[in-house]
A and B are shown apart, each in its own frame.
Chain A
């Protein structure tokens, strides 16, 4: 009789924990079956592939809670339980399972706790000499105020152990901190609240596979929106387009060191923000580490060709990356390279490529090859269905799904990502710009591209002044408080093909921009609420007039490169 392994599913689909985790669970089951185990699953979501009766060798249609899982364990007597693919639902049970004497496969519960517990994790990073934004876990408002004063505003305030950035906010001053603290505290009662220096910079993330010793980084993803937008709501591009080789090197080394010292067996996700260090040079700061499969695993698996969950499952069950034909380091796509050892192994890559080994990163800054493709992930929202929800982006996740745009050229991939996520221009109509002061300089760049593409611009007074100062022509529109006809009338008239509206600070102004954003949603006008998203759009805008300049190919053809 084959030994049994129990895989924990991710429960119902909610914002912050979507279909991506089902993808990982299903792949884990397939990998376990290939390894000769009897793979069984427990999950209670009827919409998924993991609860298809022929996915696993046994399906327990039960809630993913500790008592229900323990009952199945007593009944099935598996050799162990897999907690790292079912999102926060599953990983949260690791401790309880271990306490009940059940073997948790892969990364140990104590390592999971170390990554998730603020104080232990800080001590770990400190010992490894890895930078992170300054801050602390606090248990009272007064403590929060003193930490904020110490590290300096703005600070990021959030509850610990909560997925999807619930009750998380960028706080600019003490009054704001005092009014917001209670919300963060009550989001997860009894747990500390995290107060960290907010670093304004580019965000990036990696998902890595580790066998405890060697760590493979299948790819680095760079976020298009600056820090402050939840990673699940950010557009992300693989490979990075603006990170320097030095910064990428530091990320790979940080990832390898963290995985090794935690003893990660399986997957881990690390989020970084890139900001100037004490020497003025840009460097990555670690924002958070999730010792489990993240929502970017399916996306990254597909565009790098690395069967990430398969590899991670095998590492979890005791195989090493070396035995599987891989090694520690950064995987880069290269259609001309064939990694023979991996190809001959049980989980070959779906693409040509090579690994820049960790040793090369330790020795210095390696040469990165020219990217053969760009893959842009974009979030998709359901605001149309949810009355009274504010659609602007922030640290709290709001999207329900995601799409992927892939092409040989970055602009083309951006274009596809935007179109597929529903940001499509109407054929006629103007673009309206109304942005906050901090975004005005960038708005000028965006407007220049839009005008160059032959699309007329309408702007509200402040934005219009900034554009005219830069020599860009635009029509004026009145703000709501300036009387009729105003922006709302324009939106209702159908003359607007796209709205670029970034949230304003200050009560009246922010109420007004929220009304404008809601009006767009209710009348089906695409609305971009982040200036960096608008920048991406400006970059891709000429393709809207000529979509045939994009490719349309099978995924495997992209992975073979444009010259194939």
Chain B
């Protein structure tokens, strides 16, 4: 087959190098199966736009016009839409909607567009979740002050107000009472360019958990891994410190959400990879489905590197008809892609923000992602991985000590612990160092006490990275099977794998 792949275009916040990684892997994967790849991408700074990665390379603007011209010239048999981020997916949808795919007889590979729509369209998604009895947070669209009045007695408090079509959440906020909802809601209606706000149940402070799941055309499903956000709900996952695998879930919670993720990927009929984001009540066993990304994503790149399981590569093979039990695990070369990875280490991701450049920029973090990149660290414990990640950020801070917070009065420090910003990790550390109790810090920032206890121990006994670590292997199977991958991380132990 001749297969068209649409890249993700330029690097912008929210759509970065992960799609070069995914796209390059997918092109290689498709060529391995004997297919011919046609690629369109406007970003020259990528490996995927190198001579030889695709069979035919178009460095042209990513819009419907140019895509159609490429299709008309190359006459591909099929289009694989789920590798180029939101840009690639949107273009594929437009090409389909405008009848261009039909006109040139191009079929779509992988997850069907109907499934993508179900995942991305708010109403369709909610309907599907209701059908399969998975909970979604209640929300209401409001367009007039009268509608807002009617809502006052219906919504659960606290609730979140999000004005539509304003930037960085301008005019949004949290209402704890009817009065606050009335006030913030009316301001939001004024600020929204379309005079529209969404009011939804507040899940602020709940744990944010993600599952990376894969499914093939025969309905085989696996979870690649789960990830837990250190920052609770209320901060974009791209701006959150993320830990893999989850560290604070009970077995029951872990399996409850794993089951839900697999149920969702089956109900949607995904053929490839999918990311499911959930909010979990820290004080009970209830959860809500927040969002589903029916494509490779930043999270899937992180999950791939965290586990050694190449999600994009496997997703491309699934798209051309292979099933999980037929695809080789390239890391072990002794197992198949249907084996769920096992981790015998802890992974910590910390975002890298641009506020060293943009000194006047608004550093507060909410639902609009602001980070340009991220670092990941692997080690045997959360503490060691966190320290390693901080060290690798290439910011002024090399550990959990931040000048700015050291001399800060308690009241200001409490505010810095409460308000998510790029510097909150250090504010929390300073609070713990100063003797704020874990409970007090938890009340302020809602970060799980488990993380806070670890951090409290770390600031009490700071440790230096060792000069002569041993190196352990990332092998996808926690040493259960033979593995030859030369993928290593350093740790302080008696024996290494390398």
Contacts and interface: CB of A to CB of B under 8 A. Distances in A.
Interface of A: 11-16, 18-20, 22-23, 26, 40, 44-49, 51-54, 56-65, 67-68, 70-72, 74-75, 89, 164, 166, 295, 298-299, 302-303, 350, 377, 380-382, 384-390, 396-398, 400-406, 416, 419-421, 424, 492, 521-523, 547, 552-556
A275 to B, nearest CB: 28
B60 A385 contact: no
A12 B373 contact: yes
Interface in B222-260: none
Contact of B489 (A22, A62, A384, A424): A62
Contact of B465 (A40, A61, A68, A421): A68
Contacts of B16: 13, 19, 47, 400
Contacts of B20: 19, 22, 48-49
B486 A59 contact: yes
B43 A54 contact: no
B377 A44 contact: yes
A312 B66 CA distance: 35
B392 A11 contact: yes
B51 interface: yes
B59 A14 contact: no
Interface string B326-348: 00001100000000000000000
A253 to B, nearest CB: 28
A64 B392 contact: yes
Contact of A19 (B46, B59, B170, B370): B46
B393 A522 contact: no
Contacts of B193: 492, 523
A390 B356 CA distance: 14
A403 B391 contact: no
B463 to A, nearest CB: 13
Interface in B1-24: 9-14, 16-18, 20-21, 24
Interface in B461-498: 465, 467-469, 471, 474, 485-490, 498
A164 B55 CA distance: 35
Interface stretch (B99-107, B142-150, B357-365, B445-453): B357-365
Nearest to B350: A12
Contacts of B389: 44, 63
Interface residues of B, number: 88
Given A13-B374, A52-B310, A298-B46, 14 more contacts: A11-B394, A12-B393, A46-B376, A47-B374, A48-B21, A164-B357, A350-B51, A385-B14, A401-B11, A401-B12, A420-B10, A420-B42, A552-B58, A554-B56
B69 A63 contact: no
A402 B11 CA distance: 7
Contact of B485 (A20, A53, A166, A556): A53
Contacts of A75: 469, 471, 498
A-B interface, 3 closest residue pairs, ranked by CB to CB distance from nearest: A63-B392, A13-B373, A401-B11
Contacts of B488: 58-61
Interface in B160-203: 166-168, 170, 193
B141 interface: no
Interface stretch (B119-127, B285-293, B300-308): B300-308
Contact of B362 (A60, A388, A552): A388
B489 A13 contact: no
Interface string B388-421: 1101111000000000000000000000000000
B142 to A, nearest CB: 21
B392 to A, nearest CB: 3
Given A13-B11, A15-B357, A299 B490 contact: no
Given A53-B331, A164-B357, A298-B45, A45 B373 contact: yes
Nearest to A51: B305
B10 A71 contact: no
Contacts of B369: 385
B170 A387 contact: yes
A419 B61 CA distance: 7
Contacts of A46: 18, 301-302, 304-306, 349, 374-376
